Amino acid sequence: MARILIVDDSPADLKLMESVLQTTPHTVVTLNDPARVEEVVARERPDLLLLDVVMPGRNGYEVMRGLRRGAPGNLKVILVSSKGNDSDVKWGLRQGADDYLVKPYTPDQALGAVARQIG
């Protein structure tokens, strides 16, 4: 069983992903404030981070780059975004993401992305 942190500024998107992941044995924590990600990662020690790209203040790329500099190397990151053309996906992976999930996604697509990263 893994710990999963979902970060998204949209309450509806947080609820959707949380409801999809409640069908798994994993522990799920949600956060809607990108300014607090490092604090919550340090406290919760997640195995996987599902991180929205488009957020106010700090976008997902900035958050991920900050985490990659300071977090343990075993933290897996899946970027979740409505920005889904090939160049967006390639850019996200180049920035250090382990996977990229395009909104809107199906529950099977979300579960597949999670399974690829943490089994």
Average pLDDT over residues 93-102: 95
pLDDT (tens digit, 9 = 90+) per residue, 48-89? 999 999 999 999 999 998 888 876 568 999 999 999 999 999
- C-alpha distances (whole Å) from 51 to each of 17, 55, 112, 119 are 11, 10, 16, 18
The closest alpha carbon to 81, from 41, 106, 53, 57, belongs to 53
- pLDDT band, very low/low/confident/very high, at 105 (cuts 50, 70, 90): very high
Domain ranges of the chain: 3-118
Does the domain spanning 3-118 belong to CATH 3.40.50.2300?
Answer: yes
What is the average per-residue pLDDT within 38-45?
Answer: 93
pTM: 0.95
> Over the chain, what is the mean pLDDT?
94
